[in-house]
Every structure is written in C-alpha cells, then in structure tokens.
Amino acid sequence: MSCDVEPAASYYEWYHNTSLISSSKVYAITFAETRHSGDYWCSTNTGGRSEKIKLSVSNGPVILQAPLHVYEGDDVSLRCHSPQGRSARQTTFYRNNQTIQTSATDPDVAEGQIYRIRSARVGNSGLYQCQTYLRKSAAFRLDVSDKLFSKPDITAIPYSNITAAGTTITLVCNTNLSPLRMKTELQFAFYRDGQEVKNFSLSNEFEVRSAQVEDSGNYSCKVRTSIKSVSKMSEYFFIQVQEPNITAIPYSNTTTDGNNMTLVCNTNLSPLRMKTELQFAFYRNGQKVRNFSPSNKYEVQSAQLEDSGNYYFCEVRNANNSVKKRSEKLYIQVQGECAIVRILGSLREIKPKTYTDIMYRRQELQFAFYRDGRVIQNFNLSNQYELWSSQLENSGNYYCKIRTISQWCKQRE
C-alpha cells in the first residue's frame, strides 16, 4: 500500500485501525493472516491524510475478491477465489441473495470464476457472494459511489448576472475530483439556453468576447470523463447583456404641452472598469440635439404638441471614442387641451382652441364632442359641432376631445 496524498511530504505514517505500524511511504504485508484484517490509513508531516481502506483476510475455502473503491463508470471484476489445487467446476454469483450468474469454470482462463460489471452504476451496489461446490463465500458489500466528481458549478468572471455590452465574460465550470481519483481526465462543454456553444474539451473555461445583447441567456456546463462513462450538468447561470437605454422623467413617454421632460441615458459599466469615463449624446429623429458630454441627462424644454411622434435615442462612448453604443428609440407623445363651452338654451358653435399652424401641417387631428359625458359626435376630421334649432333639452356640459393617430388629447372637465 502506497501513501499518495497531497501535498507532497518527507515523512509518512501508516496506521492499522488506531495503531501506528510504519513510518515509510509504502507498507507491505508479506504473508497475510486474518489478524491483518481491518482499516488502514496514512498521514504525512504536511497535514495530508488518506481515506480509510478496509482489508479482509480470510482462510476460508472460497473467497470473493473485489476492489476497495468503486465509482460510477468503472468496469468491475468480482473474482471467486479457491485455494490452489481446489478449482471449482461451477461458480455461482449472488447479489442480495439472488442468483446473477452461474457458469462452468474453464481451468485455462478461469472466466467462470469472474463476474463482470460494465460501467458500474449506483444501482449495482449490494451484498455480493459467490459459491462453488466447496461452499459459499463470506458476503462482501459493494458500494458504487456517484462521487467520482462533484456536480459542476458555473460562474462568471467578472462575477455578475448583468454586464454592459462590449464586456468580455469568462465562464468557468468548477468541479472536484475524488481524492482517490485525482488523475481522472475530465472534459467540459458549455451551453446557452440548452444549445451547445463550446464542444467538449479539456479546458473548463469559455470566453464570450465583446458580449452583445444576443449573448444574454441561461448558461450551463457539462462535465464528463474522457471515456464518456459519467457526465454531470450544472445549474443555470443567467447573464443579461445590456445596451444603453433611454428613459424619461417623469417616468412616461407622455407629457402635456408646455411641460418640461428630462431624458436619461442609462448604462452599466463592467465591475472591473468602474472608473471608466463615459460621455453621452442625445438625438431627436436622427438629428443630434446635444453633443457628447459627461452628463447622461437631456431636458426637453416646454414640450409642444407638434413634438408628438418624435423619437429620441442616446449614444454612450468612452473618452477615447474606441467603444460606442446606441440605445433603442423612445417615442414621445405630447397631449393638448380641449375647450369647454356650457350651453344654456341657445345655439352655439363649439370649437376647440386654436393650435399652431405647424401642428396642422405635421399631424392629422381628429375631434369628438360630448354632452354630459355622452358622445354626440364621434371622432372625425371636423373640429365643429352645430346645434340646429336648439331646445331646452340641449342644455348641459359640453366638451370635446382631440386625438392624433395614436394618442388622446388631455380632457378638461
């Protein structure tokens, strides 16, 4: 038995159960006896300590020989051993007292004395025995471990679920091998929203260079052994890549004519570049209305009805203009006001207040009229409603509404 633990050491100790039995790296039993049965483990002067292994020495006529540690994916051979000169003609193997193999023994290859498990799984665990004409062996508990390596965990560098467009993201797939199988070769693959973005390789990293919005999604990774006998998948790690976005204060794209509106250009810096200086510019209908400056705000002074339908967007760049990003468009709607006329038994023509000529040139308006909350003339292009031979029952509170193609005007009661 060899003490191969990390970190490397210059001094080793071997223990049998709780007794110190050797001070060398390798411990050998030259003539095994039943008294050698028990738990063995080793430690070093650098703090390393092995797991315990159990050794069973039997003097019975039939012995079931099996490996000490079995992991998922291992090929396992259980050998039914008889003393020399007492070979069995037939060997039967049992798991949990149920027959799993009966075969004749070929004295040349002894294949009948071996029960093989291909690519073992946890379900192969159980109490195993073998039997020849001599007798049945002692029972051996075979435990197939699913901990050859741990379930992988996927993380991002920089560690954040939200990152700015243009940032390079490194995804890392972390797992831990069993201390008894540290030399097992593993392979790693990466996925976004279930679609493979990097095939299996020996590298546990995947780099998303200059990430864009379309790189957003749920990322996961899979780890497998090089012989593909065991594989495990991580949980999802969500990454959102953000472009700059433009919003309005008050938080609405609708305002009343004459009011001020503040537009804000929002973006997120990479956590590793928080001191990067950014500059912001604003555009209306594709024309720049404010040059690049450190302020991410732009104020629309005294918005007019003719501004309805205009769209704004912003651009963000770094100080040396090597990286530039543009937001989506934000459409602005400006609402007007309607006139009110109270009629008390006389003929009156109702007209909304006059809007600027530029408003009529740029947009088509529609008008509707109401009396005491009821529609008396539906929306149409006429801005007039006439009462012919008005009667007393025509008395009431009249008002009108004006709308563009997509918006109502402000109603004043």
Single-letter residue type at 196? E
Please give the Cα distance from 89 to 25 (Å, whole number): 42
404: which 2 tokens? 């563009």
Q: What is the mean pLDDT of residues 120-124?
A: 94
Query: In this structure, are 157 and 234 located in the same domain?
Result: yes
Query: In this structure, are 276 and 233 located in the same domain?
Result: no
Last residue of a domain, one of 311, 334, 357: 334
Query: In this structure, are 253 and 307 located in the same domain?
Result: yes
Please give the Cα distance from 288 to 314 (Å, whole number): 9
The CATH number of the domain holding residue 188 is 2.60.40.10
Kindly state whether residue 393 falls inside one of the protein's structural domains.
Answer: yes
Please give the Cα distance from 378 to 372 (Å, whole number): 15
Query: In this structure, are 253 and 318 located in the same domain?
Result: yes
CA 404 to chain centre: 44
Query: In this structure, are 329 and 248 located in the same domain?
Result: yes
Please give the Cα distance from 231 to 121 (Å, whole number): 12
- pLDDT tens-digit profile of 250-277? 555 666 666 778 888 888 776 666 778 8
Please give the Cα distance from 299 to 413 (Å, whole number): 30
Please give the Cα distance from 361 to 376 (Å, whole number): 27
pLDDT band at 201 (very low <50, low <70, confident <90, very high): very high
CB-based contact 396:369 (threshold 8 Å): no
Kindly state whether residue 413 falls inside one of the protein's structural domains.
Answer: no
Out of 2-16, 109-123, 215-229, 365-379, which region has the weakest mean confidence (pLDDT)?
109-123
With b for 16 or more beta-carbon neighbours within 10 A and e for fewer, the 261-288 pattern comes to bebbbebbebeeeeeeebbbbbbbeeee
pLDDT band at 196 (very low <50, low <70, confident <90, very high): very high
Query: In this structure, are 247 and 325 located in the same domain?
Result: yes
CB-based contact 316:298 (threshold 8 Å): no
Nearest to 235 by CA among 220, 250, 249: 220
Q: Which residues contact 4 (CB under 8 A, 6 or more apart)?
A: none
- pLDDT tens-digit profile of 331-379? 877 665 544 444 444 434 444 443 333 333 345 678 888 888 889 888 8
Query: In this structure, are 102 and 127 located in the same domain?
Result: yes
Query: In this structure, are 116 and 86 located in the same domain?
Result: yes
CA 384 to chain centre: 60
Range of the domain at 256: 243-334
**Total number of domains in the chain:** 5
- pLDDT tens-digit profile of 205-236? 999 988 887 889 999 999 999 999 999 999 99
Last residue of a domain, one of 189, 209, 241: 241
Query: In this structure, are 261 and 328 located in the same domain?
Result: yes
Kindly state whether residue 93 falls inside one of the protein's structural domains.
Answer: yes
Kindly state whether residue 410 falls inside one of the protein's structural domains.
Answer: no
Query: In this structure, are 101 and 131 located in the same domain?
Result: yes
- Say what the pLDDT of residue 123 is: 94
Query: In this structure, are 160 and 117 located in the same domain?
Result: no
pLDDT band at 309 (very low <50, low <70, confident <90, very high): low
Q: What is the mean pLDDT of residues 308-333?
A: 78
Kindly state whether residue 341 falls inside one of the protein's structural domains.
Answer: yes
Please give the Cα distance from 318 to 63 (Å, whole number): 76
Q: State pTM to two decimals.
A: 0.57
User: Mean pLDDT for the chain?
Assistant: 81
Query: In this structure, are 285 and 260 located in the same domain?
Result: yes
Kindly state whether residue 412 falls inside one of the protein's structural domains.
Answer: no
Kindly state whether residue 364 falls inside one of the protein's structural domains.
Answer: yes
Kindly state whether residue 268 falls inside one of the protein's structural domains.
Answer: yes
Percent of the chain clearing pLDDT 90 (strictly above):
32
- Say what the pLDDT of residue 363 is: 54
Give the chain as a 3 state SS string. Answer: CECCCCCCCCCEEEEECCEEEECCCECCCCCCCHHHCEEEEEEECCCCECCCEEECCCCCCCEEECCCCEECCCCEEEEEECCCCCCCCEEEEEECCEEEEEEECCCCCCHHHEEEECCCCHHHCEEEEEECCCCECCCEEECEECCCECCCEEEEECCCCEEECCCCEEEEEECCECHHHCCCCEEEEEEECCEEEEEEECCCEEEECCCCHHHCEEEEEEEEECCCCCEEECCCEEEEEECCEEEEECCCCEEECCCCEEEEEECCCCHHHCCCCEEEEEEECCEEEEEEECCCEEEECCCCHHHCCCEEEEEEEECCCCCEEECCCEECEEECECCEEEECCCCCCECCCCCCHHHHHHCCCEEEEEECCEEEEEEECCCCECCCCCCHHHCEEEEEEEECCCCECECCC
Please give the Cα distance from 188 to 232 (Å, whole number): 10
Torsion of CA 343, 348, 349, 351, to 10 degrees: -40
- Say what the pLDDT of residue 84 is: 60
**Largest pairwise CA distance in the chain:** 131
Last residue of a domain, one of 198, 218, 241: 241
